[in-house]
Amino acid sequence: MLRFLTAGESHGRALVVIVEGMPAGLLITAEDIQRGLARRRLGFGRGPRMRFEADEVTLISGIRHGRTLGSPIAIEIANTEWPKWETEMSPAPGLPSKVLTQPRPGHADLSGMLKYGLNDARDVLERASARETAARVAAGTLAKLLLQQIGVDVISHIVQLGPEHAVVGAMPVVADLAHIDESQVRCADPDAGERMIATVKAAAKAGDSLGGVAEVIAYGVPVGLGSHVHWDRRLDALLAQALMSIQAVKAVELGDGFELAARRGSEAHDAIRMATTGDADADEPAAALLGGGYVRDTHRAGGVEGGISTGSPIVVRVSMKPLATLNRPILGTVDVVTKESTVSFKERTDVTAVPAMGVVAETMMALVLASEALRKFGGDSVEEFRRNRQGYLAALGETPSAAVPPLANG
């Protein structure tokens, strides 16, 4: 329904993204995209590049006078480091000044070199790099703005960095996001945030890297996105694929995920009750409406049952492994030319990119939800999309007269 394609190497001239399927009439400016990209640069533990990489945005097509046209949207994000890399990364025939033959364990280097028949790890790492997520965030900014038109917001916060866990009380809500972004590690729990920063400092000193876990939450998603009818239309499966595709992500869980395995069925599901007037005052004011008049008081399923959204917040946890590039390369590898044992080549790197991964995870969730909302509601213009969603919610509120199907069409 909504497709996007990225192109570009980490130290190439630019990243490019093409987004197709966006309805006409969505208000968008280059500054909106810059703001999204600035959030992706957040986070203690990033390398020096994040301080000078400016993410220069050019809107190439599909937008006129600040509104989408319904045509493919092309966005370019220039790499401000390009002048330094212009010779090494030149598309013109020639040879690199340095060939990287000692692949880093944990990166795409070795498997990519073998698969594509390449002897220089740079030919693989330039595209495997998480720099590509800048292009995804540009596409995701469009998805987020579209979702806001139907009252859906996606937020994230860091619940674990290395061995340090946040003490999670109430689930953060949309109004907490500015406060979360102010934390250097995007953690809602300030004490845990301090401990996380100390852990990153210690890992940096040791020349090592760290992973962690982001929790991503979507508020305002109505019942009925995704479907139980086929494997590739299940919303949880679509979310898992999209989130797992983020560089260095190794696990994704919905709701209580892995913990559910140890529980009895009586403690693993979200009981259903009819909404009462009191539900309108809860954190999610539209909860009763979004669930068709039914609500849940727990979020164990993460807002998806049978591959279909329930109307509850969608809650997903995303786990990122420690970055494969180490400032003190100590992991053993093999030189692909000499076949001798050695340690991997040294690249400039981040200590951790977990806070940024949370922002990228918001992006991927927003792209999936926007695509599925477009499948459900359709619409070539934003107005039509909104109208269709309103009509659906109004119809959901109408109680079926009896559990008997009508005898004839209409």
Smallest separation, CB 107 to ligand EPS (Å): 7
Query: Minimal CB distance to ligand EPS: which residue?
Result: 129
Three-class secondary structure assignment of the chain: CCEEEEECCCCCCEEEEEEECCCECCECCHHHHHHHHHHHCCCCCCCCHHHHCCCEEEEEECEECCEECCCCEEEEEECCCHHHHCCCCCCCCCCCCCCCCCCCCCCCHHHHHHHHCCCCCHHHHHHHCHHHHHHHHHHHHHHHHHHHCCCCEEEEEEEEECCEECCCCCCCCHHHHHHHHHCCCCCCCHHHHHHHHHHHHHHHHCCCCCCEEEEEEEECCCCCCECCCCHHHCHHHHHHHHHHCCCCEEEEEECCHHHHHHCCHHHCCCCCEECCHHHHHCCCCCHHHHCCCEECCCCCCCCEECCEECCCCEEEEEEECCCCCCCCCCCEEECCCCCCEEECCCCCCCCCCHHHHHHHHHHHHHHHHHHHHHHHHCCCEHHHHHHHHHHHHHHHCCCCCCCCCCCCCC
In single-letter form, the type of residue at position 302 comes to: G
Toward ligand EPS, which CB reaches closer, 180 or 320? 320
- Pick the binder of ligand EPS from 131, 136, 157, 300 (CB under 6 A): 131
Q: Residues binding ligand EPS: what is the number (CB under 6 A)? A: 13
Toward ligand EPS, which CB reaches closer, 57 or 130? 130
Toward ligand EPS, which CB reaches closer, 189 or 350? 350
- Pick the binder of ligand EPS from 130, 154, 196, 221 (CB under 6 A): 130
In single-letter form, the type of residue at position 358 comes to: G
Toward ligand EPS, which CB reaches closer, 128 or 254? 128
Residues in 224-283 that interact with ligand EPS by CB under 6 A: none
72/74 Cα distance (integer angstroms): 6
Residues in 360-389 that interact with ligand EPS by CB under 6 A: none
**Of the ranges 127-135, 156-164, 338-346, 388-396, which one interacts with ligand EPS (CB under 6 A)?**
127-135
- Pick the binder of ligand EPS from 30, 32, 47, 194 (CB under 6 A): 47
- Pick the binder of ligand EPS from 284, 347, 362, 372 (CB under 6 A): 347
- Pick the binder of ligand EPS from 78, 134, 357, 393 (CB under 6 A): 134
Toward ligand EPS, which CB reaches closer, 134 or 369? 134
- Pick the binder of ligand EPS from 102, 149, 349, 371 (CB under 6 A): 349
Toward ligand EPS, which CB reaches closer, 4 or 345? 345
Residues in 102-121 that interact with ligand EPS by CB under 6 A: none
Toward ligand EPS, which CB reaches closer, 130 or 161? 130
Residues in 278-337 that interact with ligand EPS by CB under 6 A: 325
Q: Does 37 engage in binding with ligand EPS (CB under 6 A)?
A: no
Toward ligand EPS, which CB reaches closer, 230 or 348? 348
Q: Does 49 engage in binding with ligand EPS (CB under 6 A)?
A: yes
Q: Which of 306, 314, 304 minimizes the C-alpha distance to 361?
A: 314
- Pick the binder of ligand EPS from 51, 65, 264, 348 (CB under 6 A): 348
Q: Does 129 engage in binding with ligand EPS (CB under 6 A)?
A: yes
The binding site for ligand EPS (CB under 6 A) comprises: 10, 47, 49, 53, 129-131, 134, 325, 347-350
